Amino acid sequence: MFSDRTKSGIFSGRALLISICAGVILYLGAVFALDLHSRISRGEKGQKAIQMLDALRRPLLSVKEAEIRLLKTGDTQAAARNLTKITTSAASLLDRYLALTQYNPTLYELATRLRDRYEEWIIQERRLIGHFTKAAADGHEEILQDALHEASDGFMNTMNTLGAGEAPIHHDIDTGHRATRLLMLSSGLLFLYLIGLVFIFQRAKTRELRRSYDQLKKEMKKRQQARAAIQESTKMLKLVLDTIPARVFWKDLDSNYLGCNRIFARDTGLESPRQIIGKSDFELTWADQAKQYRQDDRQVIQTGRPKLRYEEPQTGPDGSRIWLETSKVPLTNLNGDIIGVLGTYQDITGRKQAEEAFRALFQSTVKAVGQEFFEGIAAALCEWLKADSAIIAELTEGDNVQALSMVLDGKTIDQYSYALPGAPCEIVIRKGYCVYPDRVSELFPDDRDLVAMRAKGYVGIPLKDKSGSPIGVLCVIARRKLDLPPKAQDVFEIIAAKISVEIERKRAEQELNLYREHLEELVAQRTVELEASNEELEAFSYSVSHDLRAPLRSIDGFSKAILEDYWDDLDETGRDYLRRVRAASQRMGLLIDDMLKLAHVTRRGLTVTQADLTALARDIETRLQESQPGRQVEFRIQEGLSARGDERLLRIVLENLLGNAWKYTGDTPRPRIEFGGKEKDGETVYYVRDNGAGFNMRYAGKLFAPFQRLHRSDEFEGTGVGLATAQRIVHRHHGRIWAEGEEARGATFYFTLGEGIASSSGGT
Amino acid sequence: MEHKTILLVEDNPDDIALTLRAFRKNNIRNEVVVAHDGVEALDYLFGEGSYAGRDPGITPEMILLDLKLPRIDGLGVLKRLCAHERTRKLPVIVLTSSEEERDIASSYEFGANSYIRKPVDFDQFTETLRQIGSYWLTLNIGPPQAERA
């Protein structure tokens, strides 16, 4: 509709004004162009001039009449008087005529001439009068006659002159008339134009009006429809708001209510949601909580952030306190400005009560286990439901139930059991959670205990194990009608689950105890077995040391005996063979000794002292030198080396390492053996270095394995157990041992000893 | 010197032969009584069993005792000797293959005077016996015979 109005702009007020102005300008232009106004004024002046001319004609004729009268009467005196009188008025008329003719120069000239003629004529008249007097007296008739002629001529001239002025005046008058007519015509045209213009505009306006009217009508219809739709949706919205199972309300920036739904209004005790409008929380039943509510409103309004799902109390119209789960969100208009707060809440009192009951129920029992737990639960259940008895019972064989805990009238009853058939617990175990709120004794007349205690209310739930098969029952019995709080079943199920778990735990514990006892037996048995096998092992090593050596000794001994006693009977080959037998048996003896040493090292306890390694090395050096006095070996033993450890075992290490060095420098021209220690990364690394045969680093990994040798026996004798023994000792000292070497260039053995070695009685 | 008896308690006939040979080689001419097990040794020392009637007052100059013996082992023998006033002070040299610390400790505990491990090498064995003989039979002055009674 806005575009329609813009289209009809050609007929706007401004256009009309422009059209009018154009017409008027055109009209004025024409008037000025045709000089109409001056022509009209000329005509008007001509009109006045002609009237004046007509008025002038009378005194002039009066002069003539006076002359004629003179001629008749001859009264010169009167004539002179008359003439004076007439000329006075004529002169004034003539002056006025002159003034009137000033607009037209031609006319003015004629008028001037007229005055001149007139004045001449008047002079002639005066002369005539004079002459007449004289003539009367003297009789000069001739002169009189001449004067008379002269006067007549003067009169004629004057009148002619006067007449001559009429023509231009009439011309002016005609021109004026024509101009007036033209003016009238153009005025008429202008008028018609204006009328037409107004008419056209009027019609256009009318059309436009009609159009806008139609549009308006259409729009109104649309609006009506829209309003109807809005009303419909408002109604729907209201219906939704009133039906929704939550309280909905909205407030302005000052926390005054703007509206609410029906269910909210009911909470306030008001009859209709409309009554809430304009009220603040302080005027409602929850005035006590109003301060907190408004604080929350302010928070939501100021931060623009919703505050969701928080719990708060509310005082109802009857003074009771309920619990709410409230959410508040900022309320914004279409521009996004916050104009208030929209809130909604649910009554969670039931849930809250269940929670509190739940909490109360568990608080006293949560830490307890076993019997304490069962009794705590039973007592708490009675408390919670205001019941008289609670039983937690386990199914036993033969349809019987054995109470794990039973509370009756606040007292714990020990060793209570009952038969399942005919009891409500039977139904519970068969069907699950059961509630008989009022008439349980009537329904189960065979349950004597139930009847005896005059029970009315009963709640029971089966206890099930992990696989879901029933293992017991939990029931609560009251002598009055049982009024269960909401969600009681949930609480029961949770408690039942917890009890079931506890029963299972208890059973598991019992089983575990059984196992534990069994385990202890088992351990004892194993220990005995182990000890036995240890004994066997020791017996074995004993017999190895004892029994294996004996035959060797025999072999060696009798070989020696043969060599001594039958020397002459043997040839050199026989003797050589016997020597080989002796060498082999001696070597085997060494092997057995080393093996036993190795076993000893592993099994022996540690006796830790501060061991003087330098002294040990020196002692070993002396022994080695003594063993082969012929050899010249340079020993370089560092002073002041000492370490914590088992001195006897450390001696074995050094014996092995120095002994090896001694052995493998056997073929070296200038043998040298070093023993020292140096600090590296916070620990002392000891080393035994020689310049002997060395070894190939490729076989370094084999060095410490028992019975592994890198040299042939005929090169260097040995059993291959020494380094293994050294390694075991070093390991037992929490240290490391490794070697570096090069064939024919010598070897270096490094070892470390761990910190904090303590004495021990033995081990493997 | 000839009257000084050596009691050799040894079950292994090879060892007996070798020991006797070693004595011979070392010119130890003492009488060597061989007991093949602990029982026999004790019988000899206490004049019982097969040695019933022997005067237990006559005691050997030294006893070479093996530990691993049939019936009553060496430690058993030592225990018995230790328990009797008469035999407590007899010089007993344990001559065995065992190097078990336990055996060594027990032997000394029950009154052994020395503990020697039999070397496998017969040369060393001979040398060992030579030294034993020269020490215990020549250098050492044993307890008075009277006390032994």
- Band (pLDDT 50/70/90 cuts) for residue A151 is confident
Among the partner residues B97, B101, B125, nearest to A546 by beta-carbon distance? B97
> Same structural domain for residues A391 and A536?
yes
> Same structural domain for residues A400 and A509?
yes
- State residue A637's pLDDT score: 92
Q: Do A553 and B119 touch (CB under 8 A)?
A: yes
How close, in Å, is residue B62 to chain A by CA atoms?
22
How close, in Å, is residue B95 to chain A by CA atoms?
11
Q: Do B98 and A546 touch (CB under 8 A)?
A: yes
Between residues A736 and A703, the one the model is more confident about: A736
Among the partner residues B68, B96, B122, nearest to A556 by beta-carbon distance? B122
Tens of pLDDT, residues A636-675? 999 999 888 888 889 989 998 999 899 888 888 899 999 9
Nearest residue on chain B to A593, alpha-carbon basis: B99
Tens of pLDDT, residues A392-428? 998 888 788 888 889 888 888 888 888 888 888 888 9
Summarize chain A as % helix, strand, coil (round to 5).
60, 15, 20
Q: Do B12 and A596 touch (CB under 8 A)?
A: no
Tens of pLDDT, residues A72-127? 887 778 878 888 888 888 888 888 888 888 888 888 888 888 888 888 888 888 88
- Ramachandran bin of A694, using left for φ above 0, alpha for ψ from -120 to 50, beta for the remaining angles: left
Q: Is the pLDDT reported for residue A751 higher than 90?
A: yes
- Band (pLDDT 50/70/90 cuts) for residue A713 is low
Q: Please state the domain count of chain A.
A: 4
Q: Do B120 and A558 touch (CB under 8 A)?
A: no
Evaluate whether B64 touches B22 at the Cβ level (below 8 Å).
no
Contact residues on chain B for A562, CB-CB shorter than 8 A: none
Contact residues on chain A for B17, CB-CB shorter than 8 A: 557-558
Cα A499 to Cα A376: distance, rounded to the nearest angstrom: 11
Among the partner residues A538, A553, A558, nearest to B120 by beta-carbon distance? A553
Cα A485 to Cα A469: distance, rounded to the nearest angstrom: 28
Tens of pLDDT, residues A515-560? 888 888 888 888 888 877 766 776 677 666 667 777 888 888 888 8
How close, in Å, is residue B120 to chain A by CA atoms?
4
Residue A757 belongs to some domain of the structure = no
Residue A224 belongs to some domain of the structure = no
Among the partner residues B14, B103, B122, nearest to A560 by beta-carbon distance? B122
Q: What is the full DSSP assignment across A541-574? A: HHHIIIIIHHHHHHHHHHHHHHHHHSGGGS-HHH
Cα A249 to Cα A239: distance, rounded to the nearest angstrom: 14
How close, in Å, is residue A681 to chain B by CA atoms?
39
Place of tokens 């708060």: A312
With vertex at residue A666, the alpha carbon angle to CA A661 and CA A669, rounded to the nearest 5 degrees, is: 110
Residue A736 belongs to some domain of the structure = yes
Using CB atoms within 10 A of its CB, is residue B53 exposed (0-12), middle (13-18) or buried (19+)?
exposed
How close, in Å, is residue B17 to chain A by CA atoms?
9
> Same structural domain for residues A425 and A554?
yes
Cα A148 to Cα A65: distance, rounded to the nearest angstrom: 13
Q: Is the pLDDT reported for residue A274 higher than 70?
A: yes
Summarize chain B as % helix, strand, coil (round to 5).
45, 15, 40
> Same structural domain for residues A517 and A423?
yes
Nearest residue on chain A to B68, alpha-carbon basis: A546
Q: Is the pLDDT reported for residue A714 higher than 80?
A: no
Contact residues on chain A for B103, CB-CB shorter than 8 A: 542
> Same structural domain for residues A38 and A185?
yes
CATH of the domain at A328: 3.30.450.20
Cα B124 to Cα B120: distance, rounded to the nearest angstrom: 8
> Same structural domain for residues A690 and A621?
yes
Q: Do B118 and A554 touch (CB under 8 A)?
A: no
Q: Do B122 and A557 touch (CB under 8 A)?
A: yes
Contact residues on chain A for B67, CB-CB shorter than 8 A: 546
CATH of the domain at A485: 3.30.450.40
| CATH fold for the domain made of B5-138 | Rossmann fold (3.40.50)
List the one residue out of A711, A685, A682, A683 whose CA is nearest residue A696. A711
Place of tokens 């309003």: A227
Q: Do A542 and B14 touch (CB under 8 A)?
A: no
Q: Do B100 and A551 touch (CB under 8 A)?
A: no
> Same structural domain for residues A182 and A72?
yes
Q: Do A589 and B98 touch (CB under 8 A)?
A: no
CATH of the domain at A46: 1.20.120
Judged by a CB distance cut-off of 8 A, whether residue A557 touches chain B is yes
Q: What is the DSSP letter of A457?
A: E
Structural domain for A274, as ranges: 244-347
Mean residue pLDDT across chain A: 84
> Same structural domain for residues A200 and A285?
no
- Band (pLDDT 50/70/90 cuts) for residue A2 is very low
How close, in Å, is residue A663 to chain B by CA atoms?
21
- Band (pLDDT 50/70/90 cuts) for residue A221 is very high
Residue A542 belongs to some domain of the structure = yes
Residue A218 belongs to some domain of the structure = no
Tens of pLDDT, residues A180-205? 888 888 889 889 988 998 888 888 88
Cα dihedral sign, A359-A364-A366-A371: negative
> Same structural domain for residues A641 and A670?
yes
Q: Is the pLDDT reported for residue A4 higher than 50?
A: no
Contact residues on chain A for B68, CB-CB shorter than 8 A: 546-547
Q: Which are the contacts of B14, defined by CB distance < 8 A and separation ≥ 6?
A: A550, A551, A553, A554, A557, A558
Q: Indicate the residue among A542, A563, A594 that finishes a domain.
A: A594
Contact residues on chain A for B98, CB-CB shorter than 8 A: 542, 545-546
Q: How far is CA A681 from the centre of its chain?
A: 55
Q: Do A553 and B18 touch (CB under 8 A)?
A: yes
Cα A350 to Cα A356: distance, rounded to the nearest angstrom: 10
Q: Do B97 and A559 touch (CB under 8 A)?
A: no
Q: Do A551 and B120 touch (CB under 8 A)?
A: no
Between residues A557 and A594, the one the model is more confident about: A557
Contact residues on chain B for A593, CB-CB shorter than 8 A: 99
Judged by a CB distance cut-off of 8 A, whether residue A602 touches chain B is no
> Same structural domain for residues A260 and A340?
yes
Residue A655 belongs to some domain of the structure = yes
> Same structural domain for residues A615 and A735?
yes
Residue A237 belongs to some domain of the structure = no
Nearest residue on chain A to B96, alpha-carbon basis: A546
How close, in Å, is residue B20 to chain A by CA atoms?
11
Nearest residue on chain B to A560, alpha-carbon basis: B122
How close, in Å, is residue B46 to chain A by CA atoms?
28
Judged by a CB distance cut-off of 8 A, whether residue A338 touches chain B is no
Residue A758 belongs to some domain of the structure = no
